[in-house]
């Protein structure tokens, strides 16, 4: 089966190249360390006796953020060393800034083709390899299997689309490639745990921890004084109502701008904080703001926002949690048509931020279902209803207060998934052959 995959992959890659090339050019940064993606990683220090080398792959900023507590556990253990890889340019930048001085090595994740995969596995020589969330790479998995290296997917999540495809009789033949015998899974929720079992994944190799993104929130840094100071930095006065657009995609900023316009016509002192999913869209969003006539400010222009701006465009990366402390309520992006799938609501919920999402949140269905049942988020069935729910939150301080309490209550019930994962890893390490 792996032979078929090796033949098909370059053909499919050639056909898809124009699309992905254009996408990479738009986002930028993919040329950095390009040869890493072809497996040409620099030689790492020689392996040491009684030191376990763990290779962790995390796609982007969200996955890397969810690793924070687990990495603290791992890197505080003198018998463990970590090699960190990522896929997106923003994720790699964060990895370098936050963890570069603490890990043995870091760089782009190589393409899943035999020459590139084989080369990087020979270079890194991990004792355990970890993937975050939902990555399934047949060739990389095959290289680990050949070397008898345990694989572990943590915070594991199968989207509706992925689960549907893997359940299809037409793709059952791929299961030996993506579910090798050296693979174990720690699922992000009970629902995700059930999905792996439905795919006939062995029950003794799948556990459930809860969502690790919860552990990425440093609750000790969330306090009213920090919030006030940050609002002042962004140009928001104490009596200003602030709505945040979180991880927004094209078209969603326009809905939020219309919301602010309508509320200001009602003499409500409201301002808009836009945190786009991709900071590279700054020019596109700035044009929308200019056309709307809404005075605005870019974070990259000057971190101190003027008080006469109505909109603040946070065109940076890695600051979502800090920025959200300045908001009173929020909208979660990629949830309005034509976009599909949604973005993870955990970060704003962890801050106790009343949150509205559009109808499309399929990728986080189970988390959203829990939060809906807990009265911690509101879901609009279409664009118009989403807009109306945001209007309702703007006008009802008691509703915002109630939702904040419900968010906090939900958070306290989630436990410590990173600690569970670390303990599981220590058991895996104990079972490794003596070196």
Sheet (strand 128-132) strand order = 105-108, 80-86, 52-57, 128-132, 151-156, 183-187, 206-208
Closest CA to 133 of 74, 192, 80, 183: 192
Res 23 pLDDT > 80: no
Give the pLDDT confidence of 140-192 residue by residue, as tens digits.
Answer: 999 999 999 999 999 999 988 899 999 998 888 889 999 999 999 999 988 89
Average pLDDT score over residue span 259-280:
94
As a whole number, the mean pLDDT across the chain is: 90
Q: In this structure, are residues 53 and 125 in contact, taking their beta carbons and an 8 Å threshold?
A: yes
Q: From residue 140, how far is each of 13, 153, 155, 331, 400 by CA, in Å?
A: 16, 13, 19, 38, 47
Instruction: Give the model's pLDDT for residue 206.
Output: 96
CA pair distance 254, 294, nearest whole angstrom: 11
Give the pLDDT confidence of 312-364 residue by residue, as tens digits.
Answer: 999 988 788 889 999 999 999 999 999 998 998 988 998 899 999 999 998 88
Q: Between β-strands 183-187 and 206-208, what pairing exists: parallel, antiparallel or unpaired?
A: parallel
The answer to which of 19-28, 95-104, 136-145, 303-312 has the lowest mean pLDDT is: 19-28
Average pLDDT score over residue span 246-275:
95
Instruction: Give the model's pLDDT for residue 218.
Output: 65
Instruction: Give the model's pLDDT for residue 25.
Output: 63
Res 221 pLDDT > 70: no
Closest CA to 270 of 255, 286, 259, 281: 259
Closest CA to 351 of 271, 244, 277: 244
Q: Between β-strands 377-379 and 355-357, what pairing exists: parallel, antiparallel or unpaired?
A: parallel
All domains in the chain, ordered by first residue? 32-210+415-430 (3.40.50.11720), 220-412 (3.40.50.2000)
Please list, residue by residue across 368-382, b when 16 or more beta carbons sit within 10 angstroms of its beta carbon and e when fewer do.
bebbeebebbbbbee
**Which of the pair, 230 or 119, is modelled with greater confidence?**
119
- Read off φ and ψ for residue 59, nearest 5 degrees: -60, -60
Instruction: Give the model's pLDDT for residue 198.
Output: 95
* Banded model confidence at residue 389, pLDDT cuts 50, 70, 90: very high
Between helix 138-146 and helix 2-27 the angle, nearest 10°, is 130
Average pLDDT score over residue span 394-400:
95
């Amino acid at each position: 089966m792996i032979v078929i995959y090796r033949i098909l992959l370059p053909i499919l890659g050639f056909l898809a190249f124009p699309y992905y090339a254009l996408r990479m050019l738009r986002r930028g940064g993919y040329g950095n360390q390009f040869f890493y993606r072809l497996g040409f990683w620099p030689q790492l220090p020689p392996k040491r006796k009684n030191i376990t080398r763990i290779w962790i792959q995390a796609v982007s900023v969200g996955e890397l953020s969810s690793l924070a507590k687990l990495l603290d556990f791992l890197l505080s253990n003198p018998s463990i060393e970590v090699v960190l890889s990522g896929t997106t340019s923003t994720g790699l930048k964060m990895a370098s800034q936050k963890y570069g001085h603490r890990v043995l090595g870091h760089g782009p994740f190589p393409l899943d083709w035999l020459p590139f995969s084989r080369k990087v596995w020979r270079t890194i020589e991990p004792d355990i390899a970890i993937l975050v969330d939902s990555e399934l790479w047949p060739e990389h998995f095959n290289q680990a299997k050949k070397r008898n290296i345990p694989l572990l997917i943590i915070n594991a999540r199968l989207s509706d689309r992925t689960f549907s495809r893997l359940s299809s009789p037409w793709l059952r033949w791929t299961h030996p490639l993506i579910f090798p015998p050296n693979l174990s899974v720690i699922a992000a929720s009970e629902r995700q745990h059930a999905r792996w079992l439905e795919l006939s994944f062995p029950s003794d190799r799948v556990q459930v921890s809860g969502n690790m993104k919860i552990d990425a929130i440093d609750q000790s840094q969330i306090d009213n004084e920090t919030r006030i100071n940050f609002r002042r930095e962004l140009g928001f006065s104490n009596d200003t109502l602030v709505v945040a657009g979180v991880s927004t995609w094209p078209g969603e900023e326009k809905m939020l701008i219309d919301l602010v316009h309508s509320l200001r016509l009602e003499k409500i002192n409201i301002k808009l904080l836009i945190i786009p999913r991709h900071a590279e869209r700054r020019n596109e969003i700035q044009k929308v703001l200019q056309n709307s006539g809404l005075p605005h400010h870019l974070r990259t222009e000057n971190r101190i926002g003027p008080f006469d701006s109505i909109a603040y465009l946070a065109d940076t990366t890695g600051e979502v949690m800090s920025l959200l402390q300045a908001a009173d309520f929020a909208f979660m992006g990629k949830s309005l048509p034509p976009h599909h799938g949604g973005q993870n609501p955990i970060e704003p919920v962890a801050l106790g931020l009343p949150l509205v999402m559009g109808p499309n949140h399929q990728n986080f269905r189970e988390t959203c279902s829990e939060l809906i049942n807990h009265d911690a988020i509101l879901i609009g069935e279409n664009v118009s209803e989403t807009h109306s729910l945001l209007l309702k939150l703007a006008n009802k301080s008691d509703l915002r207060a109630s939702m904040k309490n419900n968010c906090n209550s939900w958070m306290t019930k989630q436990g410590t998934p990173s600690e569970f994962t670390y303990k599981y890893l220590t058991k895996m390490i104990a079972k490794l052959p003596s070196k």
